[in-house]
């Protein structure tokens, strides 16, 4: 297989993202607010997806598969994990609570941003599965893996920049403690 080193490097980078997300979680004594949990979960899921998707061609090619057979098998695995993980992640209570804490216009902008990553990844993998452009399958697959890696980086960056964000008034943990005097 031609791009083994590239796939291994992508898997290593994604592993670092997973480690950073775990470090952030542990550093704060475990994520407690919905926003942190949702973003840490996203970074870990996206990072693990990249690790699996990047290692899949290296492993599958060891079974003497070549050409479209390698990319088809890997794309089916990657697509199933991508769609399944995306759906499961969106259905968590933490994700729903985090989205409910933002104004509608922010959620719309975030949805457009997410779609700008998700749609090209899905299209690239579907094109491979359908065998529409066999001579471009390695490039499409690498593009899909790289886009998810960029998405994981963006999620990690977003998590880091929103650490310690102000709590909303609707969050009971955000309300100041009352009662008793300190004097």
What confidence tens digit (pLDDT) does each residue in 2-22 have? 676 766 777 777 777 677 666
Which is more confidently placed, 123 or 89? 123
Label residues 116-155 b or e (16+ Cβ within 10 Å = b): ebbeebbebbebbbeeeeeeebbebbbbbbbbbbebbbbb
Which is more confidently placed, 55 or 103? 55
Helix (H, G, I), strand (E, B) or coil at 96: helix
Count Cα atoms within 13 angstroms, Cβ side, for 108: 3
**Which of left, alpha, beta for 72 (phi over 0: left; psi -120 to 50: alpha)?**
alpha
What confidence tens digit (pLDDT) does each residue in 106-139 have? 778 878 888 888 999 999 999 999 999 999 999 9
Helix (H, G, I), strand (E, B) or coil at 175: coil
Sequence-distant (≥ 6) Cβ neighbours of residue 110 within 8 angstroms: 102
Rounded CA gap, 158 and 161, in Å? 5
- Residues of the chain above pLDDT 90, percent: 30
So what's the pLDDT on residue 14?
74
- Is 38:92 a contact under the CB 8 Å cutoff? yes
The residue with tokens 């088809």 is: 72
Rounded CA gap, 105 and 166, in Å? 19
**Is residue 24 over pLDDT 70?**
no
- Is 7:57 a contact under the CB 8 Å cutoff? yes
């Amino acid at each position: 297989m031609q791009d083994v080193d590239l796939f291994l490097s992508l898997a290593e980078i994604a592993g670092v993202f997973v480690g950073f997300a775990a470090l952030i979680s542990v550093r704060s004594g475990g994520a407690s607010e919905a926003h942190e949990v949702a973003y840490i979960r996203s970074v870990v899921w996206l990072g693990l997806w990249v690790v699996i998707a990047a290692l899949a061609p290296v492993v599958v090619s060891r079974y003497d598969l070549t050409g479209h057979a390698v990319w088809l098998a890997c794309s089916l695995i990657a697509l199933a994990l991508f769609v399944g993980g995306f759906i499961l992640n969106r259905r968590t209570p933490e994700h729903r609570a985090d989205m409910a804490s933002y104004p509608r216009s922010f959620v719309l902008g975030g949805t457009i941003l997410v779609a700008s990553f998700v749609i090209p990844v899905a299209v690239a993998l579907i094109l491979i599965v359908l065998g529409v452009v066999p001579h471009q399958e390695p490039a499409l697959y690498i593009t899909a893996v790289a886009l998810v890696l960029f998405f994981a980086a963006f999620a990690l960056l977003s998590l880091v920049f929103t650490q310690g964000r102000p709590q909303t008034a609707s969050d009971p943990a955000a309300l100041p403690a009352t009662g008793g005097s300190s004097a």
